[in-house]
Amino acid sequence: MYRSGAPSSMELPGLHLETRPDCMVKPSTVSPLPFTVIGGFLGAGKTTMLNHLLENSRGTRFAVLVNDFGELNIDERLITQHDGETIALTNGCMCCSMADGFINALSAVMDRADQFDQLVVEASGVSNPRRIMDIATLDPGLIPNGSIVLVDASQLLDQLQDILIEDAVVTQLKEADILVINKTGLANSETLDQVAAVLAKINPGCPTVTSDRQNLAPAVLLGSSELQADYGTKRNTPEKTGGENVTHTSDHAHGQFRSCVLRQEKSIDRNTFETWAESLPASVLRGKGFVVFSDAPNQRWLWQKVGRSSRLEPEKGEPIIESTVVLIGTRTMLIDTDPSITGPFQNVN
């Protein structure tokens, strides 16, 4: 489950945040904004991946907080406004610089939170992404969407032998919800096997994916917005075109990933659902959906899973009859033949 209980104060690079009302970010008046942290040691490829995300949003409006605009290489044809602190793109995405402080950049996004579907933060190369993720437990306008940590496949083994940086690298890896072995083209197969084994030892059971050119589909890293569109209850999102079709035959990034929609027309036993959610195999990277339980048939619940973490929250809105969940996983995620995937759900499509 996601960690509960926010600390009374926290330390971030260049930032000390006390949980006093006068230093909290202004709450959003719309539903909570999914909050994702992209971490990894210096040179892991975070900025390149964020650049790809901004230019290939596939209808999702991302607000991205970065450390340095100078590292980005956004196609000038996509830029509609650049005022030195923010870059607005034709696809509805926005990039904010954290040069004047994390809280200032976060406040700028939250002041217009209804214009975005997701908030993504680039952690500095030596910081612990989990401490930044704790922000989402303090602000009612945000909801945790996971810490994604990148590793440079060609450098990780050497980094773990360097006494000056080993602790920082290991801390990042331990706190990840999803690990991305990046720059695989720079390492041979033996090294890749060693990297995978080391990651499994440091963070057992953490879903791990590979990437060579930072070209992972946004839905794989950040989750699918299909459920939001289906129910029309979440954010003020304009009608989208060209979105991803999430079915059990869908492939992402050249067949490396699969996705499916699970449905159950009858209400579900809560204990059965929670046991299923906690027992999903590591091949499942993300899950999201609306569920109705037999002990509360007039209340719908929002379920979200990121890596090994899972959470349920009551949702406002009209009651639902059918429970619907989207799962996104690696190509090893079996669907029709694996009861650990289908669980209490009757239909897979």
Across the range 12-24, mean pLDDT stands at 39
Question: Which residue is it, tokens 């996509």?
Answer: 78
pLDDT of res. 20? 35
Task: Note whether residue 13 is domain-resident.
Answer: yes
Mean pLDDT in residue range 167-180 = 94
d(Cα 168, Cα 182) in Å, to the nearest integer? 18
Give the chain's domain count.
Answer: 2
Residue 318 has a CB neighbour count (10 Å cut-off) of 9
Domain boundary among 166, 196, 220: 220
pTM strictly above 0.85:
no
The pLDDT of residue 223 is 73
CA gap 228, 242 in Å, rounded: 16
Residue 337: per-residue pLDDT: 62
Position with higher pLDDT, 304 vs 10: 304
Specify the pLDDT at position 271: 93
The pLDDT of residue 225: 53
Burial class (CB in 10 A: 0-12, 13-18, 19+), 270: middle
| Same-domain pairing of 185 and 310 | no
List C-alpha distances in Å: 143 to 46, 94, 119, 247.
22, 19, 10, 26
The tokens describing 213, both together, are: 């050119």
pLDDT at 156 over 90: yes
Can you tell me the mean pLDDT for 118-147? Answer: 86
Dihedral sign for Cα atoms in the order 66, 285, 56, 136: negative
Q: What is the DSSP letter of 23?
A: G
pLDDT, average across residues 246-268: 68
220, 241, 274 - which closes a domain: 220
Binning pLDDT at 50, 70 and 90, where does residue 188 land? Answer: very high
Please tell me whether residues 188 and 235 are part of one structural domain: no
Measuring CA to CA, which residue among 126, 118, 71 is closest to residue 99?
71
| Helix 189-202 and helix 166-174, axial crossing angle in degrees, nearest 10 | 70
Q: Distance between CA 342 and CA 160 in Å, rounded? A: 39
**Where is pLDDT greater, at 295 or 340?**
295
| Domain end among 202, 220, 238 | 220
CA distance 92 to 95: 10
Indicate the pLDDT class of residue 152, thresholds 50, 70 and 90: very high
What would the two tokens of residue 260 be? 């499916």
Taking only the tens place, the pLDDT of each residue in 58-103 is: 788 999 998 776 667 677 777 888 877 888 888 888 888 888 888 8
Examine the domain organization and report whether 215 and 256 are in the same domain.
no
CATH number at residue 243: 3.30.1220
Report the C-alpha gap between 74 and 136 in whole angstroms: 28
More confident residue, 223 or 139: 139
Read off the pLDDT of each residue in 113-132 and give the average, rounded to a whole number.
89
The arithmetic mean of pLDDT across residues 141-147, rounded, is 89
Q: How many other CB atoms are there within 10 angstroms of residue 290's CB atom?
A: 20
The answer to whether residue 204 scores a pLDDT higher than 80 is yes
3-state class (DSSP) for residue 279: helix
Residue 113's domain comprises 9-220
